[in-house]
Structure 1
Amino acid sequence: MKTLRTAFQMLLLLTVITGVVYPLLVTGLAQLFFPAQANGSLLYRNGKPVASVLLAQNMTKSSYFWPRPSAGNFDAMASGGSNYGQTSPALMQQWQTRIQYWQQASGNTKPVPAELIQASASGLDPQISVAAAYYQLNRVAQSRGWPEKRVAAMIEQQIDRSSWFAAGAPMINVMSLNLSLDQQDTLHASR
């Protein structure tokens, strides 16, 4: 009976420590030292959360930059790749369809950057390469009625060079870039 009581006391003690004390401690420290990250790295428009810098959204308006394709249709619950092998005829057809789509949507017959054709492993990657952003420049500028130089300057402002060593190249967060475009629209409309 003594062994059973000791086991129950240990279960209760460890449950309190690992189930209550530790999570509260970690949450408190995260809120204290990294509040933006602890709350989802949210992006705001007019004081309301509209996106996270950690997740891509399916942008389809021609006035926005579009992220990489998603095998899970940008659903975090269906995160993952297509699991097609590199020699799969279905994958080759999918890539051909995407190449045609990008060239048609952008009015650009230059080679499409690879990450705009190939879905990301998670299906939720929020970054694109600088080349992928410039590939979309003409479409976004025309749709917004802006000079290409203005959109190019905004692309340059959004380049994240801090992850160069980890990612292999400077990247651009699509959601941040699109929100900065909207903020520029708001600034010019209010003048």
Structure 2
Amino acid sequence: MERRDVLVPLRLLGVGLLICGLLYQGSLAVIGTAVFPNNAAGSPVTVDGQVVGSAEIGQDFRPNDPGDAQYFWSRPSSINYDAMQSGSANLGPTNPALSKRVRGDLRNISQYETPDSTVPVNLVAESGSGYDAEISPAAAQYQVPRVANQTGISAEQLRGMIQQATAEPWLGVWGHEAVNVLELNLMVREELQQNQQNASSQRIGTEHNQFERGDH
């Protein structure tokens, strides 16, 4: 074997790595950062300067904790919304494990609502990725009575929040309407905090008036 027979493939390999591994990937990173800075950074959602999640990755708002009942729930996830795994369990319709999981989801729902044939599929079926950040408007509307009962926020106000968190199909053609659960729940949390502040201010005002009247 001549020296040339070894050098030529090595040179081709080096050029290929330079173009495809460095220049191409680097160009995509630079263009993505310049044109779509938020998407390139992972679509972070910030509150008071703190990152609380991503607009593209779901979070577990299901009732593992009693406090979660006051929030809208995401789709089920067999990977606990871990984007590093990216994949659902892909259980077939005849798989007993699928039936067991769905029954468990329906039991969770039945703690607050009466599950029947109207339960939106989003609430019992995970997505292909396992970390969808969105649910259908129907799945969000179905949860309004529970969230209203748990939070004291009116159903009308909650429906307004759902409308704000609903993204329309791209260019009105591609895709479906989808509600970002994190965005929606941040609205709920903000309203709860505002209600707590108002209640606290009202209580302080009442105590102040009682003090002035000598009712203490």
Q: TM-score when scaled to structure 1?
A: 0.85
Q: Computing the radius of gyration over CA atoms, which structure comes out larger, 1 or 2?
A: 2
What's the CA shift string for 1:103-130, capped at 9, x where partnerless?
22x3344531111112222211111111
Contact 1:63 1:139 in 2 (8 A): yes
Which deviations, in whole Å up to 9, do the C-alpha atoms of 1:70-117 show, x marking residues without a partner?
12222234432223221233322332332232122x334453111111
Deviations 1:22-52 (A, max 9, x none): 2221111111111111111111111111111
What is the CA RMSD across the aligned residues, in angstroms?
2.3
Q: Relative contact order, CA 8 A, sep 6+: which one is greater?
A: 1
* Counterpart check, 1:9 vs 2:11: yes
* Alignment match of 1:53 (pick from 51, 55, 73): 55
- Alignment correspondent of 1:34: 36
Name the SS of the counterpart of 1:5 in structure 2.
helix
Question: Percent identical across equivalent pairs?
Answer: 31
Q: Relative to 1, partners in 2 of residues 1:190 and 1:30: Cα closer, same or farther, differing over 3 Å? A: farther
Aligned residue identity for 2:43? S
Q: Any stretches of 5+ residues in structure 1 without a counterpart?
A: none
Q: Does 1:76 align with 2:76?
A: no
In structure 1, what is the equivalent of residue 46 of structure 2? 44
Task: Give 2:14's aligned amino acid.
Answer: L
Residue of structure 2 in register with 1:125 after alignment: 132
> What is the alpha-carbon distance in structure 2 between the residues aligned to residue 135 and residue 172 of structure 1?
13
- Corresponding position of 2:121: 114
Kindly state the Cα deviation for residue 190 of structure 1 after the two structures are TM-superposed.
6.4
Separation of aligned partners in 1, 2:152 and 2:40 = 38
Cα distance between partner residues in 2 of 1:58 and 1:23:
33
For the residues of structure 1 that align with 2:38 and 2:32, how far apart are their CA atoms? 9
For residue 138 of structure 1, the aligned residue among 139, 145, 150 is 145
Q: Aligned with 1:180: secondary structure?
A: helix
Instruction: Give the alignment's TM-score, normalised by structure 2.
Output: 0.76
SS at 2:143 equivalent: helix
Deviations 1:142-174 (A, max 9, x none): 32221221111111111111246443x411011
Q: State the distance in 1 between where 2:168 and 2:151 align.
A: 27
Q: Distance in 2 between matches of 1:17 and 1:81?
A: 35
**In the TM superposition, what is the alpha-carbon distance from 1:5 to its structure 2 partner?**
3.0
* Distance 1:94-1:6 versus aligned 2 partners, 3 A rule: closer
Partners of 1:18 and 1:109 lie apart in 2 by: 53
Note the C-alpha offset of 1:189: 5.9
Could you list the structure 1 runs, at least 4 aligned residues long, displaced by more than 6 angstroms after superposition: none
* Unpaired stretches in structure 2, ≥5 consecutive residues: 63-67, 199-216
Q: Is the 8 A contact 2:87 2:130 kept in 1?
A: yes
